[in-house]
Every structure is written in C-alpha cells, then in structure tokens.
Amino acid sequence: MSTEGGSDPLLPLLQGTVKGDHDIFRQLYDVTNRRLNVYLRRMLPSQDGIEDILAETYTQIWKNAASFKNQSQVLTWMIGISRNLALKEISKRRYHDDIQDHPEIKAPSDNHEAANRREIISRALARLSVRQREVLDLAFYQELSYQDISQLLSIPKNTVKSRVFYAKAALKTELDKMGISENDI
Amino acid sequence: MHQSTSNSNPCSSPPLSDATIRRIMEETAAEIESPDSGLYEIIEKRIKTSANPKDERATTGRFCWAAVISALRTFCLQPRFAWGLAAVQAAIIVIFIIFPQIGLHTTSNIYKTLSVETTSSSAENLYLAIFHDSAPMTAIEKLLRQTHTTITDGPGKNGIFILRISGANQPAQKEAVNSLRNSPLVAFFEKQIN
C-alpha cells in the first residue's frame, strides 16, 4: 500500500489536462485506463456497458480536471468519479438485472480438478461481496492508502481497516473451501 | 456479505498475508481484458464537443444551476447521507403520529368570526346561546328583533352563538334575558363569563 503524502506521479498529467492539452490527457488515459477498467469490472456484477462507464469517466475527468483540489491522490479522485458512475449504473440495473449476471451465483461448483489454479482464485474472489472485492482492489491493487480509501468510500479509517480484515478472511475461507492453501498461491 | 462468508469466523485461522492478497489481486487483474483500443477515440470525440477544462472552470465559476444540481445529486448518493435523510423522515413521521395535533390546530379549538370584537366595553351584556336544530331561521330572527339582541359571534364548534342584548335600561335587558331563556327556540342560554 502506498504511503501517505508522497509525490503524485499523475499530478503533472492532470495539470496538463487542466490546460487543455490533449496529448497529456492521452498520456493520463494510457497510464490509468487499465486500473480503472479493473476496478469497474470488479465493482459491477454485469460486464455489459463497462466501456461506456469508462468513456464517461474520462469525459468527466476532462471536464472537471480543474476542480481537483489536491486533497487526495489523483488516482483516488479518478476512481471516485468512476465509482459514482458505477453506483448510478448499479441502482439503474437493480430492478431488472439478470440473476445470471451475478458472478457469485454464476460461479460453478467447486470442481477444481479440471480448473487451473488461477481460475480457482478468480472464482474465490468472485464469491466475495462487491464491497469486499472493492476494498481489496483499492487496498492491494490500486495501492491506495487507508486514508484515501476512507475519503473515497466516505467511511472512517478504522472501518476501512476492519473491512479489509474481513474481506481477507472471507477470501481465505473461499480458498480453503476450494482446497487452496496460502502455499499454493 | 455473501452467505458462504458470513458464517465463517475470521479469527479461526491465520489470515492471508498482504503479499499473498496483492499477488492474488494482480494475477486476477491480469486476466481482465484491457479496454478496447478504439475507446480513446470515443472519449476524444466526446471531449472535443465539450469545453476546454479551463473554459469549463470559467463557466462553472459563475452561478450554474446544472453544477449545483449535479453536486447535490452526488452528495445525495452518499450512503451515509441517504440513511441520515431516511432517519430524519422517520423521526418526523413518528412525531406526527405521537402528536397528531401539531400543525393542525392552533391554541383554540373554537373558530372565531373574523369581525368579532375581542375587547368589548359591554362584556356584561354578552350571553351564550344554542338554538334548537328544528328552530326556523325566521323565528329566531323575530325573537332577536323583539329582545333587541344581536349575534356578535358564532356559531362556534358546538353551535354556540354569542349574543349581545342592547336594551335601553336594566329592566328591559332583564326582560329580554327572561324572554330568550324561556323561548322554545332556545336550547341553552347563559351569561358569558370571561
């Protein structure tokens, strides 16, 4: 996890975006699109329309770059925009979503003889709740500090810590059920 | 939390190390396909139609309803705010259930005629009267004329009228009181006590 208060490598790119520099904005996109894409795919139960949300996220980043107040890392701010759009999408789909779209329901039985190790790990992760997957992604993939996650999710820092703890425990439980120990990973 | 995870005791076995979790998150991320190569072109088209970020700031510097509504919507989407709002609504509903009279009535249960004199110099001539439901209006008017009586207020909530007897002297007023009290049209007749 990143330490708090360090220099932000994305800040010059965002400052260039504020000036309306399309080349610098492209660089910002190149550096960050993969991270935002992974975040959205872990957040949303259905994978449909994720690229639309991603496109809208970058449009919002372009439009609102000047409103960045430097109170968090640039990536945290970008994920925040992405998250708001994802939450809107989730609430839109809530009433007419397809049960087959939920990865935790869709996940097949624990017949891991034919499946490889990576598939089993993906399946274990898919069985966690969205909230647990999100917090693990933010802490261990996006490398955000607890302070940044706390700001992003609008919850106290200690709640972030306990949520990470329970998410880790839940993932271990799922892996144990599938016969995967920490040494196998 | 998912059913299968909620029943587990997180303290029963040592948790996965941070390094292991990081490896899991990176490995599973590697399996996720990158966005389509044409996605940036879509974004570029969109941003070309919108203003330059600096111009955007210049326009948002002025009062802009769209920005206010957008900010308000974002704020309302925060789960904690939504729960807070629900709690306030619930509290208001509970208060109205417990105290149903709040806001529905003022201090008095009897409604008043707007033109009624609240401070009368001849308060001693005021009487409360209830007429029988079957009493015809013409008969009541005739009785009031005979006794030199005027209606100053009413009918109130219970059908009470406030009458003023304006007789020339005390014996005339006493006679009017007796006439009204003994009239078959009047069900109730008493002096008003302030």
Domain count, chain A: 2
Count of domains for chain B = 2
> Closest to A125 (Cβ–Cβ): which among B28, B42, B74?
B28
In a domain, B55, yes or no: yes
Domain that holds residue B130: 123-191
| Residue B64 within a domain | yes
Res B145 pLDDT > 60: yes
Q: Are residues A53 and A106 in the same domain?
A: no
Last residue of a domain, one of A98, A113, A142: A98
Q: What is the DSSP pairing of strand B186-191 with strand B126-131?
A: antiparallel
Q: Does residue A64 fall inside a structural domain? A: yes
State the pTM of this model. Answer: 0.57
A49, A74 in Cβ contact below 8 A?
A: no
The CATH number of residue A148's host domain is: 1.10.10.10
| B70 within a domain of the structure (yes/no) | yes
Q: Which of A53, A83, A98 is the last residue of a domain?
A: A98
Q: Give a yes or no: residue B15 inside a domain.
A: no
CB atoms under 10 Å from CB of B29, counted, come to 19
Q: Would you place residue B117 in the very low, low, confident or very high pLDDT band (cuts 50, 70, 90)? A: low
Contacts of A25 in chain B (CB under 8 A): 47
**Within-domain flag for B110:** no
Domain that holds residue A167: 102-180
Per CB-CB distance under 8 Å, the chain B contacts of A138 are none
Could you tell me if the ipTM is greater than 0.95? Answer: no
Question: Which residues 30-59 of B are in CB contact (within 8 Å) with A?
Answer: 31-32, 34-36, 39-40, 42-44, 46-47, 50-57
Check A20 against B52: CB less than 8 A apart: yes
**Residue A62 forms part of a structural domain:** yes
Q: Which residues of B177-190 are buried (b: 16+ CB within 10 A; e: fewer)?
A: bebbeebebbeebe
List the strands of the sheet with B161-165, edge to edge. Answer: B149-153, B161-165, B126-131, B186-191
- What is the tens place of the pLDDT at every residue in A76-126? 999 999 999 998 888 777 645 544 444 444 444 454 454 577 788 888 898
pLDDT above 90 coverage of chain B, percent: 12
Q: Note the pLDDT tens digit of each residue in A4-60.
A: 445 889 999 999 999 989 999 999 999 999 999 999 999 887 777 899 999 999 999
Cross-chain Cβ contact B77/A170 below 8 Å: no
